[in-house]
């Protein structure tokens, strides 16, 4: 589903976030990206979602070459990818449910059907009693779960999560990881950047360790 | 198809909502646009009213052909036959009695004409040549003047030409001014939309990240620009209506002094529709330019 071939990403200013990374992730796989901060985990996720383009090498997602993807085609790629951001990227000018319904609105779904789906997913992340609230009034953990709900509402085949349990206490983190396990069990491909060792041990799955922009072999 | 329609309906509703939220800004922008638009369209209105005055006068150049007092019946017939030839568009015979009657009626010279013992005016033809160009006019005038029985020809095209030339300059001016103010309009709309884009940067960014096309993101802003343009056009209509109401009495008094029943005409429905359509178009264009630029800036963070 995802393959990197000799991918290097150099940011303007010369910082090389990834150096000659090659890897492959199969459909339905659960993969953890680990490594200290600045090792290139976020960059790797951004390359998959075409938020960044590789400086050299080939990134391919669902058979599409990301470097060659036109600006016009990017939105359609992203509609199949659920993105969970470390900083949530919620919109504070609308309610919880309106945040979740946004991807469906963008994809042009029927409004009533969208609301139904949004409610189902909000229920799943345990925010149903807050659906009318403004996200600014939610706690950090609740905001994170809202972000996950928004990523899942369009039932993407691929979920990318950047530190989904960062800054969360252990209870919330376990909840969120349990949710990810559920989605993995229904066939969603998950790529999760984290350094939450407990979560990795609890969920199993493959671990890719990044060190200074290179993938290190991890004994399983 | 339904999704497309819904997107448009949502975008329109969102745009209206934004405009209502910022009613004061909307009003100020509409006023700025209105003033900008009212200058070229006011000039256009003034010119078309002026052209109407000119239209009541013979704008088509004419040759006046005065007959010899002693011209024979054959000469008159020969002349009439000559004037039926294809190079003449129209020829009207004015008998001397009719000319005298018209003169005394039109210029209110009854006192003077009544004192005349005989009619001093000759018979005349008013001739419109088919080809109205300067050289053709002179040629026809010359050839007619050489016919027997013709005392004099008079080419009274000069003033009409001058007036037409002046009006043509005026019309060119309208276009020039119109083009300049169209640019101003795009700038005003673009600026107004820029503020909106900046205040919704997060939404644009997040929408892009979760799969919104540029077109989807642009749509509400385009509606915003078009609506702002529409309001600007309506404001211009208001400015012109006020200006017209102020100008009407003095213009009609002036016309009355010339013995004319002239009054200012408001623009036609079609003209109003064209102006509103154009302001909407330019508002839309301004919005398009601004949003497209910001979209590329947002994504340029890569």
Residue pLDDT, tens place only, B90-141: 788 888 888 877 777 766 666 676 777 777 788 888 888 777 676 777 788 8
Residues B13 and B105 in one domain: no
Q: B3–A108: do the CB atoms touch at under 8 Å?
A: yes
Predicted ipTM > 0.85 = yes
B259 shares contact with chain A (CB less than 8 Å): no
Domain residues for the domain of B138 are 63-156
Q: How far apart are CA A118 and CA A112, in angstroms?
A: 10
B6 shares contact with chain A (CB less than 8 Å): yes
Q: How far apart are CA A150 and CA A144, in angstroms?
A: 10
**Residue A7 φ then ψ, to 5°:** -85, 125
Chain B residues in contact with A111 by the CB 8 A cut-off are 6
Q: Cβ distance A27 to A1 under 8 Å?
A: yes
What pLDDT does A135 receive? 92
Q: B203 burial class (0-12, 13-18, 19+ CB within 10 angstroms)?
A: middle
Q: How confident is the model at residue B302 (pLDDT cuts 50, 70, 90)?
A: very low
Chain A residues in contact with B210 by the CB 8 A cut-off are 78-79, 83, 102-103, 106, 150
Q: Please tell me the distance in Å from B5's CA to the nearest CA on chain A.
A: 10
- The number of domains in chain B is 2
What tokens were used for A176?
Answer: 């969120």
Residues B117 and B264 in one domain: no
Q: How far apart are CA B138 and CA B152, in angstroms?
A: 13
Q: How far apart are CA A125 and CA A144, in angstroms?
A: 10
- The answer for B 199-238 residues in CB contact with A (under 8 A) is 202-203, 205-214, 216
**Residues of chain A scoring pLDDT < 50:** none
What pLDDT does B77 receive? 82
Q: How far apart are CA A138 and CA A144, in angstroms?
A: 9
Residues B152 and B185 in one domain: no
Chain B residues in contact with A154 by the CB 8 A cut-off are 211
DSSP A65: E
Q: Which of B130, B156, B182 is the last residue of a domain?
A: B156
Cα–Cα distance list, B103 to A197, B111, B120 (Å): 111, 12, 12
Calculate the average pLDDT of chain B. Answer: 83
Residues B167 and B143 in one domain: no
Write the pLDDT tens digit of every residue in B22-76: 888 889 999 999 998 898 899 888 888 887 776 655 556 778 888 887 778 888 8
Q: A41 burial class (0-12, 13-18, 19+ CB within 10 angstroms)?
A: buried
pLDDT of B286 above 80: yes
**Per-residue burial over A5-20, b = 16 or more CB atoms within 10 Å of its CB, e = otherwise:** eebebeeeeeeebbbe
Q: Is the pTM of this model over 0.90?
A: no
What pLDDT does B301 receive? 45
Q: List the Cα angle B143/B144/B150 in 5-degree steps.
A: 130
Homologous superfamily of A1-80+156-220: P-loop containing nucleotide triphosphate hydrolases (3.40.50.300)
């Amino acid at each position: 589903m995802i393959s990197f071939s000799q991918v290097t990403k150099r940011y303007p200013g010369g910082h090389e976030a990834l150096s000659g990374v090659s890897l492959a992730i199969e459909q339905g796989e659960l993969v953890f990206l680990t490594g200290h901060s600045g090792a290139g985990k976020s960059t790797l996720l951004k390359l998959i979602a075409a938020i960044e383009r590789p400086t050299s090498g080939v990134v391919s997602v669902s058979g599409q070459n990301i470097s060659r993807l036109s600006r016009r085609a990017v939105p359609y790629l992203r509609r199949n990818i659920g993105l969970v951001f470390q900083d949530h990227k919620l919109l504070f000018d609308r309610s919880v449910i309106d945040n979740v319904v946004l991807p469906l609105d963008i994809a042009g779904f029927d409004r009533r059907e969208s609301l139904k789906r949004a409610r189902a997913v909000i229920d799943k992340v345990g925010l149903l009693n807050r659906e009318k609230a403004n996200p600014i009034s939610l706690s950090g953990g609740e905001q994170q779960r809202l972000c996950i709900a928004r990523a899942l509402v369009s039932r993407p085949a691929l979920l990318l999560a950047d530190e989904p349990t960062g800054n969360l206490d252990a209870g919330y983190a376990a909840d969120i990881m349990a949710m990810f396990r559920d989605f993995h069990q229904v066939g969603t491909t998950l790529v999760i950047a984290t350094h939450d060792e407990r979560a990795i041990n609890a969920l199993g799955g493959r671990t890719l360790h990044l060190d200074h922009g290179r993938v290190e072999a991890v004994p399983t | 198809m339904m999704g497309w329609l819904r997107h448009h309906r949502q975008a329109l509703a969102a745009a209206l909502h934004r405009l209502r939220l910022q009613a004061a800004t909307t009003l100020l922008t509409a006023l700025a646009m209105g003033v900008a638009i009212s200058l070229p369209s006011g000039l256009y209105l003034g010119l078309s009213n002026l052209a109407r005055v000119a239209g009541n006068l013979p704008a088509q150049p004419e040759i006046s052909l005065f007959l010899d007092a002693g011209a024979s019946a054959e000469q008159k017939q020969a002349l009439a036959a000559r004037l039926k030839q294809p190079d003449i568009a129209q020829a009207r015979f004015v008998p001397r009695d009719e000319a005298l009657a018209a003169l005394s009626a039109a210029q209110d010279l009854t006192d003077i004409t009544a004192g005349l013992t005989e009619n001093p005016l000759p018979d005349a033809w008013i001739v419109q040549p088919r080809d109205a160009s300067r050289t053709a006019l002179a040629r026809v005038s010359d050839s007619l003047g050489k016919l027997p029985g013709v005392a004099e020809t008079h080419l009274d095209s000069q003033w009409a030409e001058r007036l037409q030339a002046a009006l043509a300059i005026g019309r060119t001016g309208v276009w020039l001014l119109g083009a300049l103010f169209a640019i101003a309009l795009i700038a005003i709309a673009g600026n107004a939309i820029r503020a909106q884009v900046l205040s919704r940067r997060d939404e644009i960014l997040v929408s892009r990240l979760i799969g919104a096309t540029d077109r989807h993101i642009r749509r509400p802003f385009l509606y915003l620009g078009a609506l702002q343009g529409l309001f600007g056009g309506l404001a211009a209509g208001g400015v012109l209506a006020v200006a017209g109401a102020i100008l009407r009495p003095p213009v009609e008094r002036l016309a009355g002094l010339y013995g004319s029943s002239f009054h200012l005409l408001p623009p036609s429905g079609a003209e109003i529709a064209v102006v509103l359509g154009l302001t909407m178009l330019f508002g839309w264009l301004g919005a398009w330019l601004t949003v497209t630029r910001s979209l590329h800036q947002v994504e340029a963070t890569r």
